[in-house]
Amino acid sequence: MTHPSDNTWAPDPQLLGAYFDGELDSRDEVADLRARIEAWLEDHPEAVQEWQAQQRLRELWDDTAPIEPSAETWDQTLDAIATKSREAKAAPARASAWVPLGIVAAGIVMAFGLAWAAWHLTQRPIKSEAAPRAEAPKASPREAPNREDEVFPVATSEEIVIRRIEGADTDVLVVGRPPVDGPMELAAVEDIRVIRTQSTPNNQRPPAVRTGSQRPMIVAE
Amino acid sequence: MAVGILPLALSDESLLSRAVAGDREALDELFRRYRSLAYRVAHRLLGNEADALDAVQEAFIKALVHLPSFQGRSSFKTWMLRVVSNAALDLGRRRGRHETLSMDGLGQKSREECEPWMQIEPARELDRQDLRCKLNEALAQLPPAQRQTFVLHAEAELSYREVAETLGISIGTVMSRLYYARQRLRILLEPWIKSQ
């Protein structure tokens, strides 16, 4: 299939990589795109070098495949998995055995507390509204418990999804589309290279690119 | 002791459920199915056997302890690969932070890693081991997300769609990360790629 009216068209390098990876094979919905790329490749034999380089990297990769551990090592690993997973599952169970006792103890303490508070309320002398407030003890910051002493784990990295990061006070840019999941990929100024800009249908002016900023902000004007 | 015969055709999900319930044979079979794949991915991300085995161990323990997070939304294979590759990156970050304190320790580890190869096939494997160390060094220079994406595609042979599903990202992001990872690796490994 040829596209004589579209001589300027060229596949994006990433799309070309997907083509060489066979990602467009046997998919009817991209048959036209595949044919278009193949036609383009006929006119651009130099692009096949890209494929050859990809192939050489593949050969290098295959040639350096990790050596499998010994059977003994696998057995030791499996034993460790069985033991540690049993322990990990038992830990919350042991903890949960104390929960009913804890609830009873908390209930007793709360009942005593309420009784004590009620008794104090009935015994407290009625004071006028104008009573000096200076008598109230001031809490000293030094007496306050140090909340940084104990850290409670509330979530693992796998349980957190970052949906947005404000960029005003950072010198990096989160890469990817929100919500960002898994390890966060951050780009600094030196990691970003503007390859192409294009205008939107509503605005025919291409975005202006300004370099030299300390922050990797992408600004459309 | 009676030994039950575990059907080889049992699905991963059934094996996982049984393993979580304490069935050791089910765990053995599940481990046998995925240990090699998980190990290769972890090894590519970490560069040595000991750390890779730690990551595999951590991933399987997570699978057994946190079964509800699986929920059957994806295949066990992609879920396991996500857990093991995340565990490997976490481990790499933790070990990396420690190792930056002692460059001697890092050098020692590299030498230890080279020794088994030399003992197995002394002459011919020297070049390959050198190549292997260079590849590990080049991989270590990629940003973690690019490295993870590239390894899942190249080592686990996942399609773009499977990589996207495993990492919870779009196919466009997979394309982009693979492209930049390859570009970088080709530059870093140019002398070795040319001599292939």
- 8 Å CB contact of A78 and B27: yes
Question: Which has the higher per-residue pLDDT, A132 or A178?
Answer: A178
* Interface-testing mutation among A30, A57, A79, A184, with chain B (most B C-beta atoms within 10 A): A57
A195 touches chain B (CB under 8 A): no
Residue B28 in this model has a pLDDT that exceeds 50: yes
**Other C-beta atoms within 10 Å of A77: how many?**
19
A53 touches chain B (CB under 8 A): yes
Contact between B52 and B151 (Cβ < 8 Å): no
Contact between B177 and A182 (Cβ < 8 Å): no
pLDDT of residue B95: 78
- 8 Å CB contact of B135 and A66: no
| Per-position b or e across B5-36, b if 16+ CB within 10 A of its CB | ebeeeeebeebbebbbeebeebbbbbbebbbe
Task: Please report, in angstroms and rounded to a whole number, the separation of the first and last CA atoms in chain B.
Answer: 55
| HSE-CB for B195 with a 13 A CA cutoff | 7
CA–CA gap between residue B171 and residue B43 (Å, rounded): 25
* Structure tokens belonging to residue B134: 């260079």
DSSP label of B149: H
Residue B155 in this model has a pLDDT that exceeds 90: yes
Question: Measured between CB atoms, which of B28, B167, B193 is closest to A60?
Answer: B193
- 8 Å CB contact of B173 and A67: no
Shortest distance, CA A12 to any CA of chain B (angstroms): 11
Contact between B76 and B90 (Cβ < 8 Å): no
A60 touches chain B (CB under 8 A): yes
Question: Which has the higher per-residue pLDDT, B95 or A139?
Answer: B95
CA angle B98, B102, B107 (to 5 degrees): 110
- The dihedral over CA atoms of B49, B53, B59, B61, expressed in degrees to the nearest 10, equals -170
Question: Which has the higher per-residue pLDDT, A154 or B138?
Answer: B138
Most confident range, picked from A174-178, B99-103, B135-139: B135-139
Question: Which has the higher per-residue pLDDT, B176 or A182?
Answer: B176
Query: At A64, which amino acid appears?
Result: T
**pTM of this structure:** 0.63
**Other C-beta atoms within 10 Å of B95: how many?**
18
**Other C-beta atoms within 10 Å of A173: how many?**
18
- 8 Å CB contact of A82 and B24: yes
Smallest Cα–Cα separation from B85: which of B40, B41, B35?
Answer: B41
CA–CA gap between residue B143 and residue B145 (Å, rounded): 6
Smallest Cα–Cα separation from A172: which of A130, A214, A201?
Answer: A214
Contacts of B146 in chain A (CB under 8 A): 185
Chain-centre distance for alpha carbon A169:
19
pLDDT of residue A85: 86
Shortest distance, CA A111 to any CA of chain B (angstroms): 38
Task: Please report, in angstroms and rounded to a whole number, the separation of the first and last CA atoms in chain A.
Answer: 39
> Could you state, in order of their start, the residue ranges of all structural domains in chain A?
13-63, 160-193+205-221
- 8 Å CB contact of B196 and A56: yes
Cα dist from B164 to A75, A155, B74, whole Å = 33, 24, 11
Contacts of A183 in chain B (CB under 8 A): 86, 89, 144-145, 148
* Interface-testing mutation among B28, B179, B180, with chain A (most A C-beta atoms within 10 A): B179
Domains of chain B and CATH, by start: 11-101 (1.10.1740.10), 141-196 (1.10.10.10)
Report the sign of the C-alpha dihedral through residues A185, A189, A195, A199, in that order: positive
Within 133-192 of A, beta carbons closer than 8 Å to B belong to: 157-158, 175-177, 181-186, 191
Contact between A206 and A199 (Cβ < 8 Å): yes
Looking at A67-76, A135-144, B63-72, which range is the least confident one? A135-144
The helix (run of H) or strand (run of E) holding residue A217 is none
Helix, strand or coil, per DSSP, at residue A26: coil
- 8 Å CB contact of A17 and B178: yes
Question: Measured between CB atoms, which of A60, A80, A82 is closest to B135?
Answer: A60
